[in-house]
Structure 1
Amino acid sequence: MDILVGTTKGLFVLEGWRRLAGPFCEGWPINHAVGKGEEIWAAGGSGWHGAGIWRRAKGEWSVSKGPFEGAEQLWSLALDRDRLLAGSKPAYLYESLDRGETWRRLDALTDQPGAEQWMPGAAGLTLHTILADQKGGVWVGISAAGVFESRDGGKSWAMRNRRGNRPGPAGVLPRAWDGEEFRKEDEIFSCVHNLAFGAAEGLIYMQNHQGVYQSRDGGAVWEEVTEGLPSTFGFPVAAHPVKPGMAWVFPLNGDSLGRYPVDGRALVWKTEDGGETWAGKGAGLPESDCFFTVLRQAMASAPGGVAFGTNSGSVYLSRDEGESWEEVARHLPTVLSVEFMG
């Protein structure tokens, strides 16, 4: 299994998690990449390059420029059964039914009522995360509009920005639950930073601009699980592919305080109980004077491994579920995304 590393100067591949190959994609900024078998797709672009998605098939690279109507850059990719999905800046969703050669825009997302009022985040109005459950369910994260869910492959959408738990076995009513209705003030802050499927039906983890959340019902309701972390601010979240309660985040010191590790010490924070408790894991990571940032798509997990990349050009890998780390690449351009090949 290889690791795909998107950077500001092309795509790199850590073959067998060790040997670095690249850069590919002619040095384009690559915001995100996914792969399956021998194929790789890499999304990116810029004002100079235009928006495009690179594809490696049978060892050869080619680029598709859509048409990506309205897109400045491509920011995210997901494999969804027999199609590919791509998200852009500004926040449009596209699909390809021919393995990435041609694309069309799925306008139901941005045609829904209220879309004209979506507010951009610091990086613009960006569709940066796509999750697909391979059964017709699709979830997207848009900064700073929030989370949206489709149960019909993208034909219709519902906003999923509600705070609180549904009543549990003990019959305790959470603060946001008011019969069958939610109060407007119980919406979570809509600047979602990243989403990851947990290893259970309906389980999703979220890193938000103001905390970490989990949902046990496909995003209908979000429960905050920030308590125990050193800050509320961070970008990525990754979840174990088999153990539902295990997830990892990388807290930073704050939105306006430099966006680097708290106290200058690099720690990946791990939960094994769905966010009830957290523990900082730093073996093999810089213990002081650390000022890098880990961006929203720059952490991923797979059977046997967790990896993250930094804006200072390093990639760190754990082979023991985040207990210890090793630097497997350094001196790369700014790392924008890390993904394990499928």
Structure 2
Amino acid sequence: MTTTLLAVGTKKGLWLATSTDRLTWTLSEPQFLMQEVASVGIDTREGRTRIMAGVLSYHWGPTVVCSDDLGVTWSEPEHGAIKFGADDDAAVERIWQLHPDSADRPGVVWAGCEPISVWKSTDYGEHFELNRGLWDHPHRSEWGAGFGGAAAHSVLPSPVSDAVHVAMSTGGVYRSDDGGASWAPRNKGISAYFMPDPNPEFGQCVHKIARDAVEPNRLYAQNHHGVYRSDDSGETWESIADGLPADFGFVMLTHPRRSGTAWVIPLKADGERIPPDAKLAVHRTDDAGSSWRRLDQGLPDHEYNAVLRDAAGVDTLEPVGVYFGTRGGTVYASADDGASFTEVVSHLPDVLCVRASAVVGT
């Protein structure tokens, strides 16, 4: 019997839910109540399940906590997991992303933070080291802050090479070909209509990127207006927004095994940030963005809350489960590639992060 673990990080705590059929769920009591949980990583490598959470206490600040017993107990390094050095003249404000690397790199976990910075752990998320190549990049002084802050929100290590992609708001997409030692912008074709030069080398407000599971050089991006695909590891991008009701949004998900399948959740123009016509729907492509299918079975007729960039995720089961939560505190789950959804829980605080995984062990 397979058990699915669903982690929901919110503005006021973390909730964990489990299910054996992905239709009915058992929900935990809140953990880290009244603390913001903007990032969660579930690491199932090496035959175990480790939950990592980026927790922000408005009194003590941000840190990474880990649990190896499905949230029964949590550990935290005595002096914090992520912190700048005394000479960096900076302090971590928020942990936006926790991303376990591939099975070929056991122990490696990447983190994206605010201010814009990337960090790497080699001990399963216990301690992180600042990536100096990005922090010392000559462009850094020109990167700005998106509406939610200056965020390195997507960190994608390649499973087949030393390439790593990072996306940030605002700054755009950067790629390293040497495991993070050096970085260069990779934004050709992504619009920055709000800037004097709408096609700059960097400065785009990319909201989220995701990698194709079969074609590692294929990437997808949800931009601040614009949905794009790159087939050459980010060297060039082309629009795949045709067929969507809006090209604004935050979510970008890809299938864990099948090439060409991705999901987005469109929102109306950035001035309103609600689902088009106030009708919530997920859109899926199975042909790398050539066409899109609207999926709304089981979703409410009216919804005025947005879905944030990390408030959505997929599992690795068959069919794939698709999950997301709204700023109104409702979480939805699909056990059939997004064809239909059921409500997991409602009336939570703003949902910031959703992650799901088949549980390893007991």
Same fold judged by TM-score > 0.5? yes
SS of the equivalent of 2:141 reads helix
Change (3 A) 1:39 1:285: same
Aligned AA for 1:251?
P
1: CA distance, partners of 2:49 / 2:257: 24
Q: What is aligned with 1:338?
A: 354
Contact 2:275 2:305 in 1 (8 A): yes
1:146-175 Cα distance to aligned partner (Å, 9 max, x none): 1111122211111111118xxxxxxxxxxx
Residue pairs, 1:191-210, within 5 angstroms = 191-199=205-213, 200-210=215-225
Change (3 A) 1:53 1:92: same
Q: How far does residue 137 in structure 1 lie from its aligned partner after superposition?
A: 2.4
Q: What is aligned with 2:238?
A: 223
With 88-97 and 25-34 compared, the bigger mean Cα shift is at: 25-34
Q: What is aligned with 2:119?
A: 94
Contact 1:78 1:84 in 2 (8 A): yes
Q: How far does residue 108 in structure 1 lie from its aligned partner after superposition?
A: 0.8
**Post-superposition, which runs of at least 4 consecutive aligned residues in structure 1 deviate over 6 A?**
none
Q: How far does residue 273 in structure 1 lie from its aligned partner after superposition?
A: 1.1
Q: What is aligned with 2:140?
A: 115
Q: How far does residue 136 in structure 1 lie from its aligned partner after superposition?
A: 2.6
1: CA distance, partners of 2:200 / 2:92: 33
Asked whether 1:149 is paired with 2:175, we answer yes
Contact 2:64 2:82 in 1 (8 A): no
**What TM-score, normalized to structure 1?**
0.88
Aligned AA for 2:352?
L
SS of the equivalent of 1:163 reads coil
Q: What is aligned with 2:227?
A: 212
Q: How far does residue 90 in structure 1 lie from its aligned partner after superposition?
A: 0.6
Change (3 A) 1:87 1:228: same
1:61-83 Cα distance to aligned partner (Å, 9 max, x none): 02242341121111111112221
Q: What is aligned with 2:93?
A: 72
Change (3 A) 1:150 1:188: closer
1:251-304 Cα distance to aligned partner (Å, 9 max, x none): 111101x2111101111111111111112111101123x101100011112232
**What TM-score, normalized to structure 2?**
0.84
1: CA distance, partners of 2:58 / 2:34: 14
Q: How far does residue 46 in structure 1 lie from its aligned partner after superposition?
A: 4.7
Residue pairs, 1:1-342, within 5 angstroms = 1-16=4-19, 17=22, 18-36=25-43, 37-58=48-69, 59-64=72-77, 65-69=80-84, 70-80=91-101, 81=105, 82-134=107-159, 135-163=161-189, 185=199, 190-199=204-213, 200-256=215-271, 258-288=272-302, 290-303=303-316, 304-341=320-357
1: CA distance, partners of 2:145 / 2:293: 33
Change (3 A) 1:39 1:305: same
Q: In proportion to residue count, which structure has more strand?
A: 1
2: CA distance, partners of 1:188 / 1:67: 27
Contact 1:269 1:278 in 2 (8 A): yes
1: CA distance, partners of 2:12 / 2:216: 37
2: CA distance, partners of 1:42 / 1:341: 15
Contact 1:46 1:73 in 2 (8 A): no
1: CA distance, partners of 2:156 / 2:58: 27
SS of the equivalent of 2:134 reads helix
2: CA distance, partners of 1:197 / 1:190: 19
1:99-139 Cα distance to aligned partner (Å, 9 max, x none): 22222211110212222111211122111111122443221
Aligned AA for 2:36?
P
- Structure 1: any 5+ residue segments left out of the alignment? 165-182
1:197-242 Cα distance to aligned partner (Å, 9 max, x none): 1122211111100111111122121111111111121011111112
Change (3 A) 1:119 1:101: same
- Structure 2: any 5+ residue segments left out of the alignment? 85-90, 191-196
Q: What is aligned with 1:175?
A: none
SS of the equivalent of 1:62 reads coil
With 24-33 and 123-132 compared, the bigger mean Cα shift is at: 24-33
Aligned AA for 1:197?
R
Change (3 A) 1:103 1:189: closer
2: CA distance, partners of 1:99 / 1:62: 12
Aligned AA for 1:157?
W
2: CA distance, partners of 1:161 / 1:210: 14
SS of the equivalent of 1:116 reads helix
Q: How many residue pairs are counted as aligned between the two chains?
A: 322
SS of the equivalent of 1:108 reads helix
